[in-house]
């Protein structure tokens, strides 16, 4: 049978804002998996990533330092079968970036989730999007991508990732940044066409305005058997 999975994608701003509000937001959404951007990537990253997952009543799946701040955490409902990370080429003077991947099952249903955060520089960002697109295209079966693209749907990198995939938030086109004055939709969830989107929402509330500088995205998607 197909399975419905609740996905949250959230740039947590390096955990530099109200942690209590952040934890409350995620727990209230009751996700099956959370794709995190700007998670711990340096000193004590393993312990800090595990602490984040625990505070959301979830468990660490993949990411952290190996993916340069991208993190995937899952609820006990999911089983993680395989994980891997990639790193994009370093541009001197800029942040090194990457992506995390986890192949998961829920019941007899299998899918892969990916997390990434692209550069602010146009040329560097498009090069990263090409590398990510190639990695995603090589994955068999249903795929979910949560990303801070650092550009809107009009950008070349966004269009590259949307080609052949479903941009879950396209119809609503709700801005995700900044949390206190949202004007741009730069965060997205993409799924392969074999998946069905039941619902999608950008969460804007007093808590989300305190929790991070980005708003969280939540989607319920049906993964085919």
Write down the pLDDT at residue 75: 98
Residue carrying the six token digits 């700007």: 38
Output phi, psi for 134, to 5 deg. -65, -40
The pTM for the full model equals 0.97
Q: What is the CATH number of the domain that holds 37?
A: 3.60.10.10
- How far apart, in whole angstroms, are the C-alpha atoms of residue 90 and residue 109? 36
For residue 12, pLDDT over 90 is answered with: yes
**Domain count for the chain:** 1
What 3 state SS string does 164-215 have? CCEECCCCCCCCCECCCCCCECCEEEEECCCCEEEEEEECCCHHHHHHCCEC
By residue range, what is the domain housing residue 122? 3-223
For residue 116, pLDDT over 90 is answered with: yes
Query: pLDDT higher for 42 or 116?
Result: 116
Q: What is the pLDDT of residues 136-191, one digit of tens each?
A: 999 999 999 999 999 999 999 999 999 999 999 999 999 999 999 999 999 999 99
Q: Model confidence at 50, in pLDDT bands (50, 70, 90)?
A: very high
For residue 123, pLDDT over 90 is answered with: no
Write down the pLDDT at residue 183: 97
Q: Model confidence at 199, in pLDDT bands (50, 70, 90)?
A: very high
Q: Copy the structure tokens of residue 16.
A: 């530099």
Cis peptide before 178 (omega within 30 of 0): yes
Write down the pLDDT at residue 225: 86
Output phi, psi for 71, to 5 deg. -140, 140
Write down the pLDDT at residue 154: 97
Q: What is the pLDDT of residues 54-113, one digit of tens each?
A: 999 999 999 999 999 999 999 999 999 999 999 999 888 888 999 999 999 999 999 999
What's the number of CA atoms in the CB half-sphere (13 Å) around residue 66?
A: 14
Q: Copy the structure tokens of residue 95.
A: 């942040």
């Amino acid at each position: 049978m197909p399975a419905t999975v609740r996905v949250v994608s959230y740039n947590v701003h390096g955990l530099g804002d109200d942690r209590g509000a952040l934890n409350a937001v995620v727990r209230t959404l009751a996700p099956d998996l959370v794709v995190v951007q700007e998670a711990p990537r340096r000193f004590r990253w393993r312990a800090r990533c595990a602490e984040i997952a625990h505070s959301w009543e979830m468990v660490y799946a993949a990411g952290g330092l190996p993916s340069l701040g991208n993190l995937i955490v899952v609820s006990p409902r999911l089983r993680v079968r395989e994980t891997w990370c990639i790193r994009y080429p370093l541009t001197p003077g800029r942040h090194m970036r990457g992506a995390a991947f986890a192949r998961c099952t829920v019941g007899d249903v299998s899918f892969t989730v990916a997390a990434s955060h692209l550069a602010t520089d146009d040329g560097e960002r498009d090069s990263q999007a090409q590398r990510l697109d190639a990695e995603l295209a090589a994955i068999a079966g249903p795929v979910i991508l949560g990303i801070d693209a650092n550009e809107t749907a009009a950008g070349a990198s966004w269009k590259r990732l949307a080609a052949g995939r479903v941009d879950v938030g396209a119809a609503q086109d709700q801005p995700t940044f900044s949390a206190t004055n949202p004007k741009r939709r730069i965060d997205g969830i993409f799924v392969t066409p074999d998946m069905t989107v039941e619902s999608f929402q950008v969460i804007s509330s007093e808590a989300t305005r305190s929790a991070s500088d980005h708003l969280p995205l939540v989607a319920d998607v049906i993964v085919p058997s």
